[in-house]
Structure 1
């Protein structure tokens, strides 16, 4: 079973990173909706917003994901932990899937290679924040800290 650090001291910093990713995605999505409004939903045109190519469908999905990430970053419980892990996996899978269809008609979200790279980077960042922002009882965290600092075998005779 995987071990997730509990009550990591840098947890607030990781939540800020997740919030910044969510904020960027929300701003990108809102701006993209404004710019692509009136265009076909799955248009494959050359519309760029904040350095990423987009269409109306991708902009709408970005607005939803940005809101979800901001909600996850603002929660103090483990909901944000699970949301970041899930969103990180979704960004990684989406980035890889869209990279495989970049030059085909299946590129319905109008990704470019720069959009793929940003998606993969955001996925890695969200996975990292999800790994370190788990919250648990202080007794559990103290037991983990003690077990890390406690010698495995103290022979005492030399």
Structure 2
């Protein structure tokens, strides 16, 4: 079974990273909705928002996902931990799937290669934050800290 560090000292920093990813996705989504409003939901036009190609469907999903990520980053519980791990997997899988259909009519979210790269980078960042932002009782963290300390041995 996987072991996730509990109460990692850099946990607040990781939550900030997850929050910034959520904020970017939210702003991208809102800007994309403004840019693509009036177009069909799965339009394959040349609409760009914050350097990424988009359509109305992708923009609306981004608004929802951005809000969810920001809620997870603002919580001091394990909700954010699980949300970041899940979101990281979703971003990685979506990036790979959309990369495989870039030049086909199945590219219903209107991804470009830059969108794929950003999706994969955000996925990695969210997975990393999810690995280190788990919360637990202080006693559990103290036991882990003792296990991480190097032991001094007189035998060489």
Structure 2: how far apart are the matches of 1:147 and 1:132?
17
Give matches, 1:88-99, under 5 Å: 88-99=88-99
Aligned-pair CA distance for 1:150:
5.2
Mapped to 2, the partners of 1:131 and 1:65 lie a distance apart of 20
Counterpart residue number, 1:39: 39
Q: CA deviation at 1:48?
A: 0.6
TM-score by length of 2: 0.97
Displacement, 1:43?
Answer: 0.3
In 1, the alpha carbon distance for the partners of 2:102 and 2:75 equals 36
**What does residue range 4-15 of structure 1 map to in structure 2 within 5 Å?**
4-15=4-15
- RMSD value, Cα: 1.2
Q: What residue is the counterpart of 2:115 in the other structure?
A: 115
CA distance in 1, matches of 2:150, 2:50: 49
- Please show how residues 1-158 of structure 1 align to structure 2 within 5 Å: 1-149=1-149, 151=151, 154=153, 156=154
Give the distance between the partners of 2:77 and 2:64, measured in 1 at CA.
Answer: 21
CA gap of 1:49–1:157, structure 2 versus 1, over 3 A, is closer
Task: Measure how far apart 1:147 and its partner are.
Answer: 1.4
SS in 1 for 2:35: helix
Aligned partners of 1:126, 1:20: CA distance in 2, in Å? 11
Measured after TM superposition, the shift of residue 75 of structure 1 is: 0.3
Q: Point out where structure 1 has 5 or more consecutive residues left out of the alignment.
A: none
TM-score norm. by structure 1 comes to 0.96
| CA deviations over 1:131-155 (Å, ceiling 9, x no partner) | 000000010010011012153x95x
Alignment partner of 1:48: what SS? strand
Inter-partner Cα distance in structure 1 for 2:155 and 2:54: 68
Deviation at 1:157, TM superposition (A): 5.8
